[in-house]
Amino acid sequence: MKQVFRRPQSLKDVPFHFCPGCNHGTIHRLVAETIDHFNLRERTIGVAGVGCSVFVYEYFDLDVAEAPHGRAPAVATGLKRVLRDRIIFTYQGDGDLASIGMSEIVHTANRGENITVIFVNNTVYGMTGGQMAPTTLLGQQTTTSPYGRDFLQDGYPIRMAEMLATLEGTSFSARVALNTSANLMKAKKAVRRAFEMQTNDMGFSFVEFLSSCPTNWGLNPIKANERVEKELIPYFPLGIFKERKGTDYL
Amino acid sequence: MEKRLFIKGNEALAVGAVKAGCRYYFGYPITPQNDIPEYLSRHLAKVEGCFIQAESEVASINMLLGASAAGARAMTSSSSPGISLMQEGISYLAGSELPAVIVNITRSGPGLGGISASQGDYFQATRGGGHGDYRTIVLAPHSVQEMHDLALLAFDLADKYRNPVVILGDAVLGQMQETMIDRAYHPMELPAKDWTLTGAAGRRPHLIKSLYLKEGEMERHNWKLFEKYQQMKKEEVRYETSQEEDVDLMVAAFGTAARVSKSAIRMARHEGLQVGLFRPITLFPFPEQALRQISQRVKRFLSIEMNTGQMVEDVKLSVAGDANVHFYGHPPGSPPIPEELLEAIKKVY
């Protein structure tokens, strides 16, 4: 019998610890499928951020370094400069990347560092218990914005994919979601494109995932999925914000 | 014959680093250590290395972490406030057991302080500096020659122990020019780096991490690190001490303070005072045993430091009540002069 579906080789055969309805497992799978697709498993190194994403080494069957909170792009820079023919990706949440690690992500993109960044935006700090993130939507209640995020006090949610697309060093910047099958297929394409940029030495590539966090949103998985459509996508539009062609470069 | 160079301390250190096989440098500008990145930005490119001017010291230390995880010899340098910013990364390097060389050409503090030489970072360097129960090997040069020689040693020790090594210089050592013998590098025999991240080709994945959540793991990891620090105490203690038998007062000093003390001690000896010098070269591991032995025959010590009293605590712990330990401090601004230290010596002699 022909096998038509199996676990990607780049994932270990262990169950995910993520909460029901969380999208981390799907995102792990999409990244692993991409690594398998391009046959990169034996030359890919992951860099884990801090938060729910830190456990990537439990799931990916790859060499992995753990970075301090927010510093994954700097760690990835060090790895890539030494191992220029290896594929380096970071996997970071929104507190990690868009708050404490803002400086590292912006400058790594600006240097055109030839790495791929997987950014998981679920509008809260997941592991620490649902505090306000830089991507928390206006009015959204969290454990540290109990009256709802107010721009007078906390400013506005940050749109990372658009911001990084403005930098010359960025080769690819996209925002994707996983709330429908159609969006999932687009997400898969975006991850492939991002890794392809790196294998072609095109510079910094970035994929932002809108991800649900039913636990910290206080919603069941179906309602959480609906929130992605109704609240997240209107503020964080999906799409490709930058895609460098070979002819734009060098 | 070995070449002699008339060279600045900072450049001597950079020459040593390249000679030791350091090919990756990450750093952020700060006075008084800029000669190091400037030299390396010119020279690493010529040896197929890589120099990155990072966006901050925080990024520098984490780039160093990445390069080290990939198996390369890599370094950063900075000065006091910048080293404060690196403490998080140094703690991760120690926890993840990664070799790294971190150079602190100190300036004065606290805060923005000033750009003059200081020994105010002794505690920060010798007590770990960042969070968690760890130590870094701390090497304290007192001449331009030693800036070079200890750079060679630092890379070997970092690899031997898979641990960060700090070279604790200061503004005077970094900026002064002296003659330096361009010595050949004879590396130690070191274990193979079989733990690096290179892509899991034909082997199980390697992990570089410092997170331990399972019951008992963290405790075991801390004891493992402790064993390493004990081995350093057994094998890596380095110091210089006077050979005279007739010492009544032993001056303890490191770095620039030791350099100036040497002049003061010569003057004191000229006046007939029986004064000696004990100069720790490794501040961690601190030469406790050597000092304890000396304290069996010498009953007076004077710790001379360019701060308000830091190393003196280690001197006191080492002699453990067998001798009187005095202190003379010259906090930063200008370095002390020999005449001033001679007075300090006479006061307690």
Distance CA B172, CA B195 (A): 39
Q: How far apart are the first and last CA of chain B?
A: 45
**B58–chain A nearest CA distance, Å:** 8
Average pLDDT of the residues in B31-41: 98
Say if the Cβ atoms of B197 and A104 lie within 8 Å.
no
pLDDT classification of B242: cutoffs 50, 70, 90: confident
Model confidence band, residue A247 (pLDDT cutoffs 50, 70, 90): low
Instruction: Answer whether residue B245 is part of any domain.
Output: yes
Interface of B with A (CB under 8 A): 24, 26, 50, 52, 54-56, 58-60, 62-72, 74, 88-89, 92, 96, 197-202, 205-211
B184 and B250 co-located in one domain: no
User: Given this model, what pLDDT does residue A50 score?
Assistant: 94
Query: For the residues A14-35, what does the mean pLDDT come to?
Result: 96
Would residue A207 count as lying in a domain? yes
Cβ contact, residue pair B62, A43, below 8 Å:
no
B212, part of any domain: no
On chain B, the residues whose CB falls within 8 A of the CB of A83 are 70, 198-199
The verdict on B178 and B30 lying in the same domain is yes
What is the band of A249 on the pLDDT scale with cuts at 50, 70, 90?
A: low
Report residue A250's pLDDT band, with 50, 70 and 90 as the boundaries: low
**Mean predicted confidence (pLDDT) in A171-186:** 98
Q: How many structural domains are present in chain A?
A: 1
pLDDT at A92: 98
Whether A246 has a pLDDT exceeding 90, the answer reads no
| B40 lies in the same domain as B125 | yes
Determine the distance from the C-alpha atom of residue A160 to the mean position of all C-alpha atoms in its chain, rounded to a whole number.
11
Give the max Cα distance, chain A.
Answer: 62
Q: Are residues B49 and B131 in the same domain?
A: yes
Cα–Cα distance for residue pair B204/B228, rounded to 1 Å: 26
> What pLDDT was estimated at residue B321?
86
CB contact at 8 A, B98 and B74: no
Which of A66, A92, A108 should be substituted to probe chain B, the one whose Cβ sees the most B Cβ atoms within 10 Å?
Answer: A66
Indicate whether A12 belongs to any domain: no
Distance of residue B199 Cα from the nearest chain A Cα, in angstroms:
4
Predicted confidence at residue B333, as pLDDT, reads 87
Range of the domain at B47: 4-199+223-235
Query: Are B38 and B139 members of one domain?
Result: yes
CATH number at A121 reads 3.40.50.970
Is residue B189 located within the same domain as residue B258? no
Domain of residue B35, CATH code? 3.40.50.970
- CATH code where residue B270 lies: 3.40.50.920
| Structural domain boundaries enclosing A192 | 24-245
The answer on B160 and B13 residing in a single domain is yes
- Across the interface, of A64, A80, A83, the residue whose CB is closest to B205 is A64
| Chain A residue numbers touching B205 (CB-CB < 8 A) | 57, 60-64
Question: Is residue B171 domain-shared with residue B288, that is, in the same domain?
Answer: no
Q: Answer yes or no: is B211 within a domain.
A: no
Residue A182 within any structural domain of the chain: yes
Q: Is the ipTM of this complex over 0.90?
A: yes
Q: How many percent of chain B have pLDDT more than 90?
A: 96
Cβ neighbours of B24 in A, within 8 Å: 78, 81-82
- Does A1 fall in a domain? no
Chain A residues inside the 8 Å CB shell of B96: 65-66
* Domain end among B186, B207, B235: B235
Tens of pLDDT along B306-338?
999 999 999 999 998 889 999 999 999 899 999
Residues A108-161 have pLDDT tens digits of: 999 999 999 999 999 999 999 999 999 999 999 999 999 999 999 999 999 999
- The answer to whether position A4 is within a domain reads no
A158 min Cα distance to partner chain B (Å):
21
Same domain, B53 and B191: yes
Domain count, chain B: 2
Q: Domain for residue B155, yes or no?
A: yes
Q: From CA A213, how far away is CA A215, in angstroms rounded?
A: 6
Would you tell me how many other CB atoms lie within 10 Å of the CB of residue B187?
A: 11
Judgement on whether residues B46 and B168 belong to the same structural domain of the protein = yes
pTM over 0.90: yes
The amino acid occupying position B268 is A
CA distance B282 to B185: 20
Tell me: do B46 and B113 sit in the same domain. yes
